[in-house]
């Protein structure tokens, strides 16, 4: 296989570990904290997790290792969407296992959770692992979205573990994957299988975070990758001076990615879904807000700009959420076949008009026809609108264009408006991990091995104090149940990890809110440039602006 010079160089990079994990396994001991409880619905969560609920948070310290000696056979699973640094979690886990005992074994189950159900695996060795150090992607074993949530699946997993002598499973995933890890850990504990389960916090969306998990891995690299691209577009916009660029970025359930990119690049407009929901902003109000920026800049002779739109923005708009709910209800069951059988869009439009409330029809009528039709594209497995398929960047530029035409007719707008559209998603999921993500992920994997060594189960590998140099990072673990609450999913109450939304009273958003009026009118673009791997620490090891502001 032909390697790029960067790939060759990255193979040689030695990730930095928290100071405590550098002491050698024999000098790492455990300090236990207070018992924990879930963030909400404590009695229900306790009832569902009687064997793993209420456990103590732990921190690794320098001291005599008191864990039980013995061979460790561990399985690892990559679950869900890709995020930069996943390979380094596995490399850190492997290195820690081999440092503890050269006879320890690491199994990699292929293509996500389905790998353990199908007993489809690879046994890692030095040669295999060395090809993936500090590289992006999940191609080391592949990933998948199969959920581990039924007793039949748990028993198959337990049997596979028995067959190979596996005593621990590490699941690398987001909130849903780590919820599954918690349920699997509870089943294994209740049935006395002797198999531990450890989770690692992954998602580029940044919504797996709380007071304990300061940052999910991959967020740093992905936002720096998107910010480089946004900065390039800003430079182009400021050079050509004739286009408004509407840029959609990842983040369906939370706007962390959009906010971080705005903090790094200072665009003219950035929508934050959580604010839209809190202020109950209408589609029309949002369009007016963007239009005002376009008009004000045009009045200064600047017929160009940049707007960042989070992927899931429409779900935060109250009237749009109601519209989507009504469409989901309208097309439930046999009605979907009746709708799809209609030969023309006009007939489908009349079907919709008869089936939803007049209030929702007003919202629907505002939408450009292309966006209207996107609401009726292929449904998800539950029969619902796939919001991620809605081209919200085109929706808002079309609404702005229409409003500017009205203002021009009224004589209040004399500028020009021409739009370009972009969606940055896959571009960031498998990028070469930044030094931060390379170090953080390696530390998470190494730390997971320590949790296994000390017999913990149902825990999330936790590395904190991340705004400081890696030497000062703190390694430990927290019970996954601490992050859980009960939510209604598909008509049933289910325990899930609570998603972390952008906090409107938090320092990152407050900084953004204090500067956005100036950014909306001025050209205060910042050009972050490409991720740097070699050079001054303040350039190469810098964390996200979000984390830096949160820890000020």
Give residue-wise pLDDT tens across range 47-88.
999 999 999 999 999 988 888 888 999 999 999 999 999 999
CATH class belonging to 19-218+433-496:
alpha beta
Instruction: Say whether 384 sits in a helix, a strand or coil.
Output: coil
CA distance 467 to 392: 34
pLDDT band at 384 (very low <50, low <70, confident <90, very high): low
Q: Hey, do 19-218+433-496 and 220-314+386-429+506-550 end up sharing a CATH topology, with the first three levels equal?
A: yes
CA distance 302 to 401: 16
CA distance 225 to 85: 14
Per the CB < 8 A criterion, the answer to whether 251 and 310 are in contact is: yes
CA distance 485 to 496: 6
pLDDT digits (tens, 9 = 90+) for 391-401: 999 999 999 99
pLDDT confidence of residue 389: 77
What does the pLDDT average to over 361-378?
Answer: 87
Asked whether the predicted pLDDT for residue 380 surpasses 80, the reply is no
Average pLDDT, the chain: 94
CA distance 384 to 136: 32
pLDDT confidence of residue 383: 59
Residues 6+ apart with CB under 8 A from 65: 25, 26, 27, 28, 29, 453
Annotation says 205 is catalytic: yes
Residues 6+ apart with CB under 8 A from 422: 229, 233, 245, 246, 247, 248, 393
Q: Quick one: how far is CA 62 from the chain centroid?
A: 33
pLDDT digits (tens, 9 = 90+) for 148-157: 989 999 999 9
CA distance 168 to 199: 11
Q: How many CA atoms lie within 13 A of 132 on its CB side?
A: 26
pLDDT band at 2 (very low <50, low <70, confident <90, very high): confident
Asked whether the predicted pLDDT for residue 382 surpasses 60, the reply is no
CA distance 270 to 520: 9
Asked whether the predicted pLDDT for residue 490 surpasses 80, the reply is no
Give bridge partners of residue 459 from the DSSP assignment.
198, 479
Asked whether the predicted pLDDT for residue 381 surpasses 70, the reply is no
User: Would you kindly state where each structural domain of the chain is located, as residue ranges?
Assistant: 19-218+433-496, 220-314+386-429+506-550
Q: Is the pTM of this model over 0.75?
A: yes
CA distance 284 to 301: 25
Taking the alpha carbons of 95, 476, 201, 530 in that order, is the dihedral positive or negative? Answer: negative
pLDDT confidence of residue 330: 87
Asked whether the predicted pLDDT for residue 388 surpasses 80, the reply is no
Name the percent of the chain lying above pLDDT 70: 98
* Among 301, 246, 251, 312, CA closest to 277: 312
Q: Which of 95, 205, 220, 437 is catalytic?
A: 205
H or E element, residue 374: helix 369-374
pLDDT confidence of residue 332: 79
What does the pLDDT average to over 221-236?
Answer: 98
pLDDT confidence of residue 272: 98
CA distance 389 to 248: 11
What does the pLDDT average to over 263-281?
Answer: 97
CATH fold of 220-314+386-429+506-550, please?
Rossmann fold (3.40.50)
What does the pLDDT average to over 168-173?
Answer: 98
pLDDT digits (tens, 9 = 90+) for 454-482: 999 999 999 999 999 999 999 999 999 99
425 vs 328, higher pLDDT: 425
What does the pLDDT average to over 445-449?
Answer: 97
Residues 6+ apart with CB under 8 A from 5: none
Asked whether the predicted pLDDT for residue 186 surpasses 80, the reply is yes
* Among 230, 191, 210, 140, CA closest to 420: 230
pLDDT digits (tens, 9 = 90+) for 310-346: 999 998 999 998 998 898 888 877 788 898 899 999 9
Backbone region of residue 465 per phi and psi (left: phi > 0; alpha: psi in -120 to 50; beta: other values)? left
pLDDT digits (tens, 9 = 90+) for 110-160: 999 999 999 999 999 999 999 999 999 999 999 999 999 899 999 999 999
In terms of residues, how long is the chain? 552
């Amino acid at each position: 296989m032909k390697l790029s010079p960067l790939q060759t160089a990255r193979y040689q990079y030695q990730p930095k570990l928290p100071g405590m994990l550098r002491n050698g396994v024999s000098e790492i001991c455990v300090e236990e904290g207070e018992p924990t409880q879930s963030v909400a619905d404590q009695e229900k969560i306790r009832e569902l997790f009687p064997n793993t609920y209420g456990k103590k948070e732990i921190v690794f310290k320098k001291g005599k290792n008191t864990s039980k000696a013995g061979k460790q056979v561990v399985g690892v699973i990559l679950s869900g969407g890709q995020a930069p640094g996943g390979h380094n979690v596995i490399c850190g886990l492997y290195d820690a296992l081999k440092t503890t005992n050269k006879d320890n074994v690491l199994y990699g189950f292929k293509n996500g959770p389905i790998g353990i159900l199908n007993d489809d695996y690879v046994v890692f060795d030095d040669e295999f692992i060395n090809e993936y150090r500090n590289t992006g992607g999940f191609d080391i074993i592949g990933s998948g979205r199969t959920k581990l949530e039924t007793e039949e699946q748990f028993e198959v997993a337990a049997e596979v573990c028995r067959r190979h002598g596996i005593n621990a499973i590490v699941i690398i995933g987001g909130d849903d994957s780590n919820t599954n890890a918690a349920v699997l850990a509870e089943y294994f504990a209740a049935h006395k299988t002797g198999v531990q389960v450890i989770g690692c916090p992954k998602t580029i969306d940044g919504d797996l975070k709380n007071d304990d998990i300061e940052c999910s891995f991959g967020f740093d690299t992905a936002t720096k990758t998107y910010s480089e691209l946004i900065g390039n577009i800003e430079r182009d916009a400021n050079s050509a001076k004739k286009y408004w660029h509407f840029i959609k970025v990842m983040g369906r359930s939370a706007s962390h990615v959009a906010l971080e990119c705005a903090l790094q690049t200072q665009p003219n407009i950035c929508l934050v879904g959580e604010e839209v929901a809190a202020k109950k902003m209408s589609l029309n109000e949002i369009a007016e807000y963007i239009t005002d920026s376009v008009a004000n800049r045009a009045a200064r002779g600047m017929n160009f700009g940049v707007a960042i739109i989070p992927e899931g923005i429409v779900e935060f708009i109250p009237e749009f959420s109601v519209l989507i709910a009504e469409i989901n209800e309208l097309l439930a069951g046999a009605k979907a076949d009746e709708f799809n059988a209609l030969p023309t869009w006009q007939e489908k439009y009349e079907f919709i008009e008869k089936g939803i409330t007049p209030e929702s029809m007003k919202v629907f009528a505002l939408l450009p026809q292309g966006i209207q039709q996107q609401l009726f594209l292929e449904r998800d497995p539950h029969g619902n609108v796939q919001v991620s398929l809605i081209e919200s960047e085109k929706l808002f530029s079309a609404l702005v264009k229409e409003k500017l035409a009205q203002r021009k007719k009224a004589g209040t707008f004399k500028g020009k408006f021409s739009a370009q559209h972009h969606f940055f998603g896959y571009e960031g999921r498998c990028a070469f991990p930044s030094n931060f993500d390379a170090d953080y992920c390696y530390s998470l994997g190494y730390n997971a091995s320590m949790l296994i060594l000390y017999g913990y189960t149902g825990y999330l590998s936790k590395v904190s104090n991340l705004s400081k140099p890696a030497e000062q990072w703190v390694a430990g673990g927290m019970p996954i149940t601490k992050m859980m609450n009960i939510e209604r999913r598909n008509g049933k109450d289910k325990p899930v990890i609570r998603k972390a939304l952008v906090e409107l009273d938090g320092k990152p958003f407050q900084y953004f809110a204090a500067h956005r009026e100036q950014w909306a009118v001025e050209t205060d673009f910042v050009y972050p440039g490409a991720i740097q791997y070699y050079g001054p620490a303040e350039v190469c090891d810098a964390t996200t602006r979000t984390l830096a502001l949160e820890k000020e």
